[in-house]
Amino acid sequence: MPPLQVVWFKRDLRIVDHAPLYEASQRGWVAPLYIFEPDLWRQPDASNRQWQFARECLQELDRELGALGGQSRGLIVRTGDAVQALEQIHQAHGIAALWAHQEVGNDWTFQRDRAVRRWARRRGVPFHEIPQDGIIRGLKSREGWRDHWETEMNRPLVPAPTVLQIAPLRSDPLPDSVGDDVCPFAQRGGRSRGLALLRSFLSHRVRGYARGLSSPLTAPSACSRLSPYLTWGALSLREAVQATRRALARAQNDPRQAGLLRSLQAFESRLSWRSHFIQRLESLPSIEFEPMHPALAHERTEIDPALFDAWAQGRTGYPFVDACMRMLHATGWINFRMRAMLTAFACYHLWQPWRAVGLHLARLFVDYEPGIHWSQIQMQSGSTGISAFRIYNVVKQSYDQDPTGAFIRRWVPELRRVPVAWIHEPYRMPPDLQRQYGCVIGVDYPAPIVAHESAARAARQRLHEAYRTPEAKALSEQLLQRHSSRARREARSQPARAQQLGLFE
Ligand SMILES: Cc1cc2nc3c(=O)[nH]c(=O)nc-3n(C[C@H](O)[C@H](O)[C@H](O)COP(=O)(O)OP(=O)(O)OC[C@H]3O[C@@H](n4cnc5c(N)ncnc54)[C@H](O)[C@@H]3O)c2cc1C
């Protein structure tokens, strides 16, 4: 067997629109490789629920690659450190070239990729890292970025190879689990499930999207639910964008479809925000660890274990907050607005450190995507200096988004018998009613851990003081110029336009 073309799969677990696989397939014997890296799965943002999803994507990828190679399975799995795994293959078989997509992951994956690059240079192995999703490595300014993204999204999909000469290398088993985190209602992985969701969303579910995305009652079916498939690359962003644009073109030709058109446009913008935020992490990797704006850097440095744990376990005494957290524990997903509210409640009302809050949520999200996640955590915790402070009134959200209390009753069974009049604020119930409805506050269900209105007022005051100095304002302006797209900069000076653009939900 001549030296191998190694295709290293990371978070791009598909055979369609996979340029590294296609290019390698044109050049001879291919080793489609996944390296199970125990250290990666020990990182504080990683969890078993994410692994379970990735594992199912890998199993389907294995079958798909096998079919291309005329055999039952096609993925070669190695366990351990990436450099060592590649060195072993190189020693045993010789690597002619290494192919991969450029990954915008966390700092750990970035350092790992640097080590692999150094190894490839030392060994004289060409390492082709192909960009994807319109992300530009080493980008200095956002001017022109949007046009570049458009060009990338409009390119035809890279076809799956028609045949693949798969090298007969030994393969390790995929571990069953990487921890004891259980998520009974998590989405299942695999490209075919992702494709089915894309189809069902664009053919009918999208009709309820704009109307349904804010409430956690409607969002699970109104939203596309594509996020974990995009995170793990079972679907490419380009194929989602192109399918959406085909649906948009059909709706545009029909004047009766105004509502549908609005929903499709709202969805299409979100697909572009995905790359917008991943580009932010690519250009400013420090946002994983440090606030974008230093105004609050010396505040919220200590975790208060009692407050933090109450929030993290869904026992704050605010039923809607607790229901959201418990849904997240059980399903690995919640909608945008509720992610924002959970973050804001922890970082504003409870004044907890944004990074600890972000890590807890990252582990709970099956779709954890570092670029979107750390950008959003910073935005929703008031750490960027360039986005509005959104201190949610958690009780108002409860009345607005769950008017009958059905969502709360589903996820907080202690409150199952509490009638709608008290469900949003059970701590206001007179003691005899608490007993009557089987929910004594402080016994069956916690009393609120903070008074939400005064906690919000205190947070607003602290934010105002931290960001009002001329130096803080000047820095905010600089950050805005560097990290915002033109649309966002315009939106800041024209809030009504921002609403229209759907930049806030
Ligand atoms: C604090 C916080 C943390 C978040 N962390 C993540 C994360 O780790 N991974 C993740 O995929 N999303 C994250 N989001 C964004 C958003 O909440 C999810 O993308 C969305 O809820 C996923 O569900 P969906 O696929 O049904 O979304 P849809 O509404 O159907 O959107 C389709 C796709 O567009 C992209 N998208 C949607 N909203 C946004 C947004 N605001 N910014 C960037 N891209 C967006 C996602 O890829 C999503 O899959 C976070 C939001 C907040 C407020």
pTM summary value: 0.95
Ligand 1: which residue has its CA nearest to atom 6? 373
Test site for ligand 1: of 149, 227, 327, 383, most ligand atoms within 8 A of the Cβ: 227
Tell me the per-residue pLDDT of 348-392, one tens digit each, with 9 for 90 and over.
Answer: 999 999 999 999 999 999 999 999 999 999 999 999 988 889 999
Ligand 1: which residue has its CA nearest to atom 5? 373
User: Which pLDDT does position 487 carry in this prediction?
Assistant: 53
Quick one: 388 exposed, middle or buried, by C-beta within 10 A (0-12, 13-18, 19+)? exposed
Tokens matching residue 195: 């494709």
Query: Average pLDDT per run of 10 along the chain, which is 505 residues long?
Result: 95 98 97 98 98 98 97 96 98 98 98 98 98 94 94 98 96 97 97 98 95 96 98 98 96 84 96 96 96 91 97 98 98 98 98 98 98 97 90 98 98 98 98 97 98 97 93 90 64 42 37
**Does residue 223 have its Cβ closer than 6 Å to ligand 1?**
yes
Give distance in angstroms: CA of 268 to centre of ligand 1.
12
For residue 287, the number of C-alpha atoms closer than 13 Å in the C-beta half-sphere is 29
User: Which pLDDT does position 494 carry in this prediction?
Assistant: 44
DSSP tag of 79 = E
Give distance in angstroms: CA of 269 to centre of ligand 1.
11
**Does residue 133 have its Cβ closer than 6 Å to ligand 1?**
no
User: Which pLDDT does position 258 carry in this prediction?
Assistant: 83
Test site for ligand 1: of 209, 270, 321, 325, most ligand atoms within 8 A of the Cβ: 270
Secondary structure class of 348 (helix, strand, coil): helix
Counting from 1 in the atom list of ligand 1, the atom nearest the Cα of 505 is 41
Give distance in angstroms: CA of 300 to centre of ligand 1.
26
Counting from 1 in the atom list of ligand 1, the atom nearest the Cα of 227 is 49
Secondary structure class of 121 (helix, strand, coil): helix
**Does residue 270 have its Cβ closer than 6 Å to ligand 1?**
yes
Give distance in angstroms: CA of 214 to centre of ligand 1.
12
Ligand 1: which residue has its CA nearest to atom 36? 270
**Does residue 372 have its Cβ closer than 6 Å to ligand 1?**
yes
Tell me the per-residue pLDDT of 165-189, one tens digit each, with 9 for 90 and over.
Answer: 999 999 999 999 999 999 999 999 9
233 CB-near residues (< 8 Å, 6+ apart): 10, 11, 12, 13, 14, 57, 101
**Does residue 354 have its Cβ closer than 6 Å to ligand 1?**
no
CATH code of the domain occupying 288-468: 1.10.579.10
Counting from 1 in the atom list of ligand 1, the atom nearest the Cα of 334 is 21
Check if 4-130 and 288-468 are the same fold: no
Q: How far apart are CA 23 and CA 292, in angstroms?
A: 38
**Does residue 343 have its Cβ closer than 6 Å to ligand 1?**
yes
Give distance in angstroms: CA of 31 to centre of ligand 1.
33
Q: How far apart are CA 169 and CA 385, in angstroms?
A: 52
User: Which pLDDT does position 461 carry in this prediction?
Assistant: 95
- Domain range summary for the chain, segments of one domain joined by +: 4-130, 191-279, 288-468
Ligand 1: which residue has its CA nearest to atom 18? 336
Helix or strand holding residue 379 (H, E): helix 370-380
Test site for ligand 1: of 47, 244, 274, 483, most ligand atoms within 8 A of the Cβ: 274
**Does residue 377 have its Cβ closer than 6 Å to ligand 1?**
yes
Query: According to the 3-state scheme, what is the secondary structure of 277-315?
Result: HHHHHHHCHHHHCCCCCHHHCCCCCCCCHHHHHHHHHCC
Ligand 1: which residue has its CA nearest to atom 39? 270
Q: How far apart are CA 276 and CA 149, in angstroms?
A: 9
Counting from 1 in the atom list of ligand 1, the atom nearest the Cα of 231 is 11
**Does residue 241 have its Cβ closer than 6 Å to ligand 1?**
no
**Does residue 47 have its Cβ closer than 6 Å to ligand 1?**
no
User: Which pLDDT does position 496 carry in this prediction?
Assistant: 41
Ligand 1: which residue has its CA nearest to atom 11? 227
Nearest Cα residue to 89 out of 56, 58, 125? 125
Give distance in angstroms: CA of 324 to centre of ligand 1.
16
Give distance in angstroms: CA of 198 to centre of ligand 1.
15
**Does residue 273 have its Cβ closer than 6 Å to ligand 1?**
yes
Counting from 1 in the atom list of ligand 1, the atom nearest the Cα of 339 is 53
Domain 4-130 superfamily per CATH: HUPs (3.40.50.620)
Counting from 1 in the atom list of ligand 1, the atom nearest the Cα of 373 is 5
